[in-house]
Amino acid sequence: MSEKILVVGGTGMIGSHIAERLAARGDQVTVMSRGSASDRDPAMIAGLPRISGDYTSAEFPTAQLDGFDSVVFSAGNDIRHVAEGDDDAEFWRTVQTEGVPAFAARVKQAGVGRFVQIGSYYHQLHPEWAATNPYVAARKGGDDGARELAGDGFVPITINPPSIVGVIPERAPRHLRKMLAWVRGELEAPELFGPKGGTNYMSVRSLAEAVEGALARGEAGRAYLVGDANLRYHEYFQLVADAAGSNRVIDERDEPHPFQPDRFIVQGRGNAIAYEPDAAETALLGYQRGDVQRAIEELVMLASK
């Protein structure tokens, strides 16, 4: 049966793929973003109804949430969004620790049945990191705070994914095109290597499938750790090189790298995050694994246009 679903952050890479998937299955999907509709919006959400609003604003009218069966929240900020000069503590309090649970509370107040938040894997794998890393602490606070609202017919769920492989088809980032030139040996610097360490990767398609499963079968107050392929960073770059038709070999070195900056390696350069998602939870959510190589080949194709 068709449902009315609001995708918050629906113009972003993850949110637009989720919105497209839900609309394709017949749901009545509305997207929400801070800006109004423009010609820079992803083509995959063209024609979908739009709400303009900032989830962090105390002035956001709860009435705009009336009538939706579910809300998918894919607007959570991460390390890339911290601008130079920002007060880190205030930023994380506003966009995660207090901002997400406060928005979830407005969703509950509006009578929406389900709230599926796209979180992050760090705090679910290593909750102890929250004691020393402000970003991990903020993600944990946003996750825990929203799920604590479970009850009275409200079903909050968090999907905690790893690094996501995907791109908005018509907006391949400039750094991705530069990476392709790099793996093909068309740039003199940096040398062909990946920093020591690695992480788990998952395609945006698999993540959208997991969200679809959470909307249908997720349990109230649960956080689901999802994921796919464990790769060293140089192995990931090698898959990009292979997809780009390069015969270059990507080595591993314990050195900083512009395509995987140290500030984005939360576990610290030289360390790897590797895990296997729970098989029963993977089956419950119904997402496919083994999709990372296909996703890399797709993004290489799109960036090469």
- Shared domain for 57 and 192, answered yes or no, is no
- Shared domain for 132 and 192, answered yes or no, is no
Q: Give, rounded to a whole angstrom, the gap between the first and last alpha carbons of the chain.
A: 38
**Interatomic CA distance for residues 49 and 183, integer angstroms:** 40
Q: What is the DSSP letter of 196?
A: S
Ordered DSSP codes for 219-275: PTT-EEE---EEEEHHHHHHHHHHHTT-----EEESS--TTS-GGG-TT-TT-B---
Give the pLDDT confidence score for residue 41 in this predicted structure: 87
- Shared domain for 146 and 178, answered yes or no, is no
Give the pLDDT confidence score for residue 297 in this predicted structure: 97
- Shared domain for 277 and 169, answered yes or no, is yes
Give the pLDDT confidence score for residue 37 in this predicted structure: 81
Give the pLDDT confidence score for residue 167 in this predicted structure: 93
Average pLDDT along the chain, 305 residues, taken 10 residues at a time: 94 96 97 86 93 92 96 83 67 91 97 98 97 94 97 98 94 86 90 97 98 98 98 98 96 95 95 98 98 97 88
Domain span at residue 248? 165-200+230-303
Give the pLDDT confidence score for residue 86 in this predicted structure: 62
Q: What is the DSSP letter of 70?
A: E
State the total domains in the chain: 2
Q: Which residues are bridge partners to 51 per DSSP?
A: 32
- Shared domain for 8 and 155, answered yes or no, is yes
Torsional class of 286: left (φ above 0), alpha (ψ -120 to 50), beta (otherwise): left
The closest alpha carbon to 116, from 224, 277, 226, 1, belongs to 224
Amino acid at 291: D
Give the pLDDT confidence score for residue 83 in this predicted structure: 63
